[in-house]
Structure 1
Amino acid sequence: MEETSKAVNSRRRTLMESLGFGRMSVPVGLTERLEHVRALDRVVVPVAKTIRRRLPSGSALRDMLHGVPTGHPLHPPLATISLGCWTATAVLDLIDVDPRASRAVLATGIAGAIPAAAAGITDWSMLHLEQQRVGFVHAMVNLAALGLYSGSLMMRLSGRHQAGRALAFAGLGAAGLGGYLGGHLAYRMAAGPTHAEPTTHLVPLGWHDLCRLWDLPDGRPVSRRLGYINLFVLRHGAQVKVLADRCSHLAGPLHQGRLKLENDEACVVCPWHGSTFRLEDGAVVHGPATAPQPAFEVNIRGDGIVQVRPREV
Structure 2
Amino acid sequence: MKTLRPLQSIDKLENAAALDPVANKVRDVVQAVLKPGALRDVLHGVPIGHPLHPLMILVPTGSWLSAAVLDLIPGSNKASAVLIGTGVASAAPTALAGWADWSEGHEQQLRVGIVHATANLIAVGLYTGSLVQRLRGRSGKLLSYTGLVVVSAGGFLGGHMSYRQSLGANHNEDVPHRIEAGWHSIGSLEELQEGMLEKRVLGEIPLVVFRRGSEVSVLSNTCSHLSGPLNEGKVTVDDGDPCVVCPWHNSGFSLKTGEVVQGPATSPQHSFETRVIAGQVEVSLPNAG
State the TM-score, normalizing by the size of structure 1: 0.88
What residue in structure 2 maps to residue 104 of structure 1? 82
> Does the 8 Å contact 1:199/1:310 carry over to 2?
no
> Does the 8 Å contact 1:232/1:242 carry over to 2?
yes
Are 1:233 and 2:209 counterparts?
Answer: yes
Are 1:259 and 2:235 counterparts?
Answer: yes
> Does the 8 Å contact 1:139/1:178 carry over to 2?
yes
Matched AA of 2:282: Q
Which residue of the other structure, out of 95, 112, 116, is the alignment partner of 2:94? 116
> Does the 8 Å contact 1:66/1:73 carry over to 2?
yes
What residue in structure 2 maps to residue 31 of structure 1? 10
Are 1:54 and 2:33 counterparts?
Answer: yes
Q: Report matched runs for 1:65-84 at 5 Å.
A: 65-84=43-62
What residue in structure 2 maps to residue 304 of structure 1? 279
How far does the alpha carbon of each residue in 1:9-43 deviate from its partner, in whole angstroms, 9 at most, with x for none?
Answer: xxxxxxxxxxx64xx53344211111111111111
Q: Distance in 2 between matches of 1:34 and 1:207?
A: 46
Q: Report matched runs for 1:89-168 at 5 Å.
A: 89-161=67-139, 164-168=140-144
Q: Distance in 1 between matches of 2:6 and 2:203?
A: 38
Matched AA of 1:55: L
What residue in structure 2 maps to residue 8 of structure 1? none
Cα offset, 1:227, TM superposition: 1.9
Cα offset, 1:204, TM superposition: 2.4
Which residue of the other structure, out of 241, 244, 250, is the alignment partner of 2:220? 244
Which residue of the other structure, out of 42, 49, 59, is the alignment partner of 2:21? 42
Report the CA distance shift for 1:27/1:64 in structure 2 as closer, same or farther (over 3 A). farther
Task: State the structure with more CA Rg.
Answer: 1
> Does the 8 Å contact 2:50/2:168 carry over to 1?
no
Cα offset, 1:263, TM superposition: 2.2
Matched AA of 1:247: C
Cα offset, 1:311, TM superposition: 4.3
Task: Describe the SS at the equivalent of 2:146.
Answer: helix
Matched AA of 2:85: A
Matched AA of 1:25: L
What residue in structure 1 maps to residue 157 of structure 2? 181
> Does the 8 Å contact 1:197/1:229 carry over to 2?
no
How far does the alpha carbon of each residue in 1:189-235 deviate from its partner, in whole angstroms, 9 at most, with x for none?
Answer: 00011111433322222212222212222221111111231111112
Cα offset, 1:54, TM superposition: 2.1
Task: Describe the SS at the equivalent of 1:108.
Answer: helix
Count how many residue pairs are aligned between Structure 1 and Structure 2: 288
Matched AA of 1:140: T
Matched AA of 2:130: S
Could you tell which deviates more after superposition, 79-88 or 143-152?
79-88
Structure 1: segments with no counterpart, 5+ residues: 1-19
Matched AA of 1:38: A
Q: Distance in 2 between matches of 1:214 and 1:197?
A: 31
What residue in structure 2 maps to residue 17 of structure 1? none
Matched AA of 1:29: Q
Task: Describe the SS at the equivalent of 2:72.
Answer: helix
Cα offset, 1:236, TM superposition: 2.2
Q: Distance in 2 between matches of 1:197 and 1:291?
A: 9
What residue in structure 1 maps to residue 254 of structure 2? 278
Cα offset, 1:148, TM superposition: 0.5
Structure 2: segments with no counterpart, 5+ residues: none
